[in-house]
Amino acid sequence: MSESDIRIIQGFGLPTVFIDTFYDVIDANFVDMNNEDAVHKALSRLHKQGFERIGFVASHVDTTNFRLRQDAFFKNMARLGLKVRETDVISVESTYDGAYNDTHSLLQGGISLAECYFCTNDVIAYGFIKALKEFDIRIPGDVSVIGFDNLPLSATMEPSLTTIDVSKRKIGYLAVTVLDDLINASEPQPSVKILVGAELIIRSSDVRKDARKIAAKPKRALATSGKPPAG
């Protein structure tokens, strides 16, 4: 939700708690996931495995959480002492088909891939991985991937997706608790801003197989044909 959306809703004068969005300087009640903490967990995991060239699959779809995760990526890369290469930050559509098509186009253009990528959410990770596989790029053998949201498919896809899990039940519980306090309060209450922490769910998509850098094989395939290998 935008700042203007929030102010319009506040204009009705009703007790209100906003979930899944967050603004530091608006006098309103928010319960949201702690994106900065969550992204730090993902990048720390990759850093501890020895990855240095870490990429980010962003989205040009404008949402608060997407912006917060992109900001958190740059902050936490600096916090970990890692350099961000401009070419390793790519932007795709937020849908499965859109992420797949945009990634496919980048691969056809001969993009130089990073060793691993943190994706803005799981749906983007699904499309990103599908395109990589079509170019015979192995996950995680050639490129490791971490998502965000822990959607049900993440546990059953091949390879299973390492991802960030934020408790929607916890967010809902806290939001209802704050709302109940607002409804029953006998006098105006100060605004409440709550960020819920995240858990990294470790699966197979980011496991580093060995210490070598990304294989040159996919780049040769792109250079010779510009198309995915047959078969």
Per residue in 156-187, pLDDT (tens digit) is 999 999 999 999 999 999 999 999 999 999 99
Give residue 224's pLDDT. Answer: 35
DSSP state of 189: -
> Over pLDDT 90: what percentage of the chain?
86
Single pTM value for the model: 0.86
Peptide bond into 159 cis (omega under 30): yes
Residue partners of 85: CB distance under 8 A and separation at least 6: 53, 55, 114
What confidence category does residue 220 fall into, taking pLDDT thresholds of 50, 70 and 90? very low
Terminal Cα distance for the chain, rounded: 45
Could you give the 3-state DSSP secondary structure of residue 146?
strand
Give residue 64's pLDDT. Answer: 87
Output the CA angle 160-164-169, nearest 5 degrees.
Answer: 115
Burial label, 22 (beta-carbon count in 10 A; 0-12, 13-18, 19+): buried
Give residue 210's pLDDT. Answer: 61
Assess if CATH 3.60.110.10 describes domain 35-165+206-212: no
* Phi/psi at 154 (5° precision): -60, -30
Asked if residue 28 lies in contact with residue 191, where contact means CB atoms within 8 angstroms, the answer is yes
**pLDDT tens for each residue of 49-108:** 999 999 999 999 988 899 999 999 999 999 999 999 999 999 999 999 999 999 999 999
DSSP state of 86: G
What confidence category does residue 223 fall into, taking pLDDT thresholds of 50, 70 and 90? very low
Residue 92, beta-bridge partner list: 59
What confidence category does residue 41 fall into, taking pLDDT thresholds of 50, 70 and 90? very high
* Parallel/antiparallel/unpaired status of strands 18-19 and 30-33: parallel
Number of neighbours of residue 92 by Cβ within 10 angstroms: 25
